[in-house]
């Protein structure tokens, strides 16, 4: 296990904090090609000092990924900007039991006429950082540095991977942005990059602090996922190649060249770049 995650149990205070209904919960999984994927999991909690649990109430790619590859990275951030990050191993699911009942009696699901939690996922904790505050002052400084570097980073892009809406979301000051990659042990790692911005239609740029040591340690050429979320709960997932650390306008920066974009918002999560070709239905069968 990486040195960044030295704690192997949750404290009672951690467990209580995770039960807040209003929080950011992220799960990083690994797809069939070995590439990182990030999903918003609002129900992510700790069921015991060594177990994480979350409830599924919508479909999505991550549910299939975790069943094929149980290694995951996770992040929880509470409304008071307290942060936990770690890694875990998926173990099993359940469609009944105390955790299933608890999820479906919370206000979010108890009074919802359209959906409830239908499957509970369990993960064994591998390690975590412990509670630490999101470093807001360094993030503000890094955001200003990224904005300055962006003025020197503009160049004609070869591909329109990031459309205008996606560039605006990933460049918005105040939006939440996170990076994930798969480490040498095969487990994903999630790193906050709230300072990130999109200088053109195929790159995401970010000053190399805070979390600078972690970002610099990512090998150049590593497949990387970036998850963006506005305060209005608009979300997008981009994936590409980490281009390493360099100076842009004299500012140490990292960047990701994007080659895949996914709309992660309901009601229809789907790939939006490269465009998916629509094919005419030429064969019909009577389902009756």
In a domain, 281, yes or no: no
Transcribe 118-186 into DSSP letters: -EEEEEEEEEE---EE--HHHHHHHHHHHHHHHHHH----SS--S-HHHHHHHH-TT-EEEEEEE-TTS
Residues 145 and 124 grouped into a single domain = no
Q: Report the pLDDT value the prediction gives residue 69, as an integer from 0 to 100.
A: 98
Residues 98 and 157 grouped into a single domain = no
Tell the burial category of 128 from Cβ atoms under 10 Å away from its Cβ (0-12, 13-18, 19+): buried
Give the residue numbers spanning the domain of 113: 12-132
pLDDT, tens only, 224-277:
999 999 988 899 999 999 999 999 999 999 999 999 999 988 777 889 999 987
Residues 105 and 156 grouped into a single domain = no
In a domain, 113, yes or no: yes
Q: What does the alpha-carbon distance between residue 148 and residue 150 come to, in Å, rounded to a whole number?
A: 5
Q: Residue 158, Cα to own-chain centre: how many angstroms?
A: 26
- Looking at the predicted structure, is the pLDDT value of residue 285 above 80? no
Q: Of 117, 119, 130, 57, nearest to 90 (Cα)?
A: 119
- DSSP letter at 219 equals P
In a domain, 287, yes or no: no
In a domain, 278, yes or no: no
Residues 118 and 181 grouped into a single domain = no
In a domain, 57, yes or no: yes
In angstroms, the Cα distances linking 179 to 33, 232, 265, 286 are 18, 20, 18, 46
Residues 154 and 268 grouped into a single domain = yes
- DSSP letter at 65 equals H
pLDDT, tens only, 3-39:
689 999 999 999 999 999 899 999 999 999 999 999 9
Domain final position from 81, 112, 132: 132
What is the CATH number for 204? 2.30.110.10
In a domain, 154, yes or no: yes
Residues 140 and 126 grouped into a single domain = no
Residues 101 and 36 grouped into a single domain = yes
Residues 183 and 64 grouped into a single domain = no
Residues 106 and 225 grouped into a single domain = no
Domain count for the chain: 2
Q: Report the pLDDT value the prediction gives residue 288, as an integer from 0 to 100.
A: 44
- Looking at the predicted structure, is the pLDDT value of residue 1 above 50? no
The residues that bridge with 37 in the sheet, in sequence order, are 29
Using alpha carbons only, give the angle 184, 206, 17 rounded to the nearest 5 degrees: 70
Domain final position from 86, 115, 132: 132
Residues 147 and 237 grouped into a single domain = yes
pLDDT, tens only, 51-109:
999 888 777 788 999 999 999 999 999 999 999 999 999 999 999 999 888 888 876 66
In a domain, 24, yes or no: yes
Is the Cβ–Cβ distance between 75 and 82 less than 8 Å?
no
Q: What does the alpha-carbon distance between residue 240 and residue 257 come to, in Å, rounded to a whole number?
A: 5
In a domain, 283, yes or no: no
Domain final position from 132, 152, 184: 132
Q: What does the alpha-carbon distance between residue 190 and residue 177 come to, in Å, rounded to a whole number?
A: 10
Tell the burial category of 286 from Cβ atoms under 10 Å away from its Cβ (0-12, 13-18, 19+): exposed
Residues 54 and 156 grouped into a single domain = no
Residues 139 and 233 grouped into a single domain = yes
């Amino acid at each position: 296990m990486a040195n960044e995650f030295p704690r192997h149990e949750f404290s009672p205070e951690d467990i209580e904090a995770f039960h807040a209904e209003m929080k950011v919960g992220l799960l990083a999984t690994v797809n069939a090609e070995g590439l990182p994927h990030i999903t918003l999991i609002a129900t992510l909690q700790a069921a015991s000092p060594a177990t994480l649990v979350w409830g599924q109430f919508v479909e999505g790619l991550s549910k299939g990924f975790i069943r094929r590859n149980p290694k995951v990275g996770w992040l929880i951030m509470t409304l008071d900007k307290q942060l936990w990050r770690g890694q875990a191993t998926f173990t099993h699911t359940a469609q009944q039991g105390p955790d299933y009942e608890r999820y479906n009696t919370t206000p979010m699901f108890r009074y919802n006429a359209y959906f409830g939690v239908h499957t509970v996922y369990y993960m064994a904790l591998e390690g975590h950082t412990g509670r630490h505050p999101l470093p807001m002052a360094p993030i503000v400084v890094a955001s200003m540095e990224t904005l300055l570097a962006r003025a020197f980073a503009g160049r004609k892009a070869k591909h329109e991977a990031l459309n205008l809406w996606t560039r605006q979301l990933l460049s918005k000051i105040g939006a939440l942005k996170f990076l994930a990659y798969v480490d040498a042990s095969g487990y994903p790692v999630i790193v906050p990059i709230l300072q990130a911005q999109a200088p053109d239609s195929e790159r995401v740029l970010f000053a190399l602090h805070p979390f600078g040591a972690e970002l610099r340690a990512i090998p150049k050429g590593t497949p990387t996922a970036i998850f963006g979320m506005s305060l209005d709960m608009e979300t997008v997932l981009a994936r590409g190649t980490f281009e390493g650390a360099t100076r842009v306008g004299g500012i140490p920066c990292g960047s990701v060249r994007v080659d895949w974009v996914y709309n992660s918002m309901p009601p229809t999560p789907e790939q939006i770049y490269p465009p998916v070709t629509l094919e005419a239905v030429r064969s019909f069968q009577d389902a009756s």
